[in-house]
Amino acid sequence: MGLLDGLLQGLSGGQSGSGGGELQQALFQMLAQGGTEGLSGLAKNFQSQGLGDIFSSWVGTGENRPIQPEQLQNALGVEKLQQLAGGTGMSLQAALPLLVQLLPVVIDKLTPQGQLPQNNNLLQQGLATLLGGGKGSQG
């Protein structure tokens, strides 16, 4: 999980007190509460906004395509983004650039086989792996 750890450190490193770590937790909770519908629902939201190819790149095994803050805001909706940001004490303006970097990595790590999990157990295992990623050894 070096990439995810490095990304989160980079996202939160320049901001003392709050940042990527809390936002990561809020994002994981949002996905876990939605179960497999959380990821499938995200995919549908992205498709309805004409961003299905971007989301598919995160799920697939190739390179993750970038997303712009306004695109992410359209796909998730202002209300959901404010929920995520508000749970961390961050403003939407502060959280959005972090989510633009964090969400593709999280979706990519939750879908290592290049497809959405078909049951909640697989999603829960993926979330547990990401949450516990810092505990593993480097070798």
User: What is the per-residue pLDDT across 9-61, written as a single tens digit (0 to 9) for each?
Assistant: 444 444 434 466 788 888 877 777 765 467 888 889 899 999 999 999 999 99
Whether residue 99 is contained in a domain is answered as yes
Q: Give the pLDDT confidence score for residue 134 in this predicted structure.
A: 43
Q: How far apart are the first and last CA of the chain?
A: 11
Whether residue 7 is contained in a domain is answered as no
Whether residue 16 is contained in a domain is answered as no
Whether residue 46 is contained in a domain is answered as yes
Number of domains in the chain: 1
Distance, in Å, from the CA atom of 42 to the CA atom of 131, rounded to the nearest integer, reads 20
44's enclosing H/E stretch is: helix 20-48
Per DSSP, the three-state class of 45 is helix
Q: Give the pLDDT confidence score for residue 106 in this predicted structure.
A: 86
Q: Which tokens hold the place of 85? A: 């940001």
Measured torsion, CA atoms of residues 33, 82, 64, 68, in degrees rounded to the nearest 10: 160
Whether residue 127 is contained in a domain is answered as yes
Residue 72, domain CATH: 1.10.10.690
pLDDT single digits (tens) 73-129: 999 889 888 888 888 888 989 899 999 999 998 888 888 888 887 765 555 566 565
Whether residue 15 is contained in a domain is answered as no
Residue-range definition of the domain harbouring residue 108: 22-132
Whether residue 57 is contained in a domain is answered as yes
Whether residue 1 is contained in a domain is answered as no
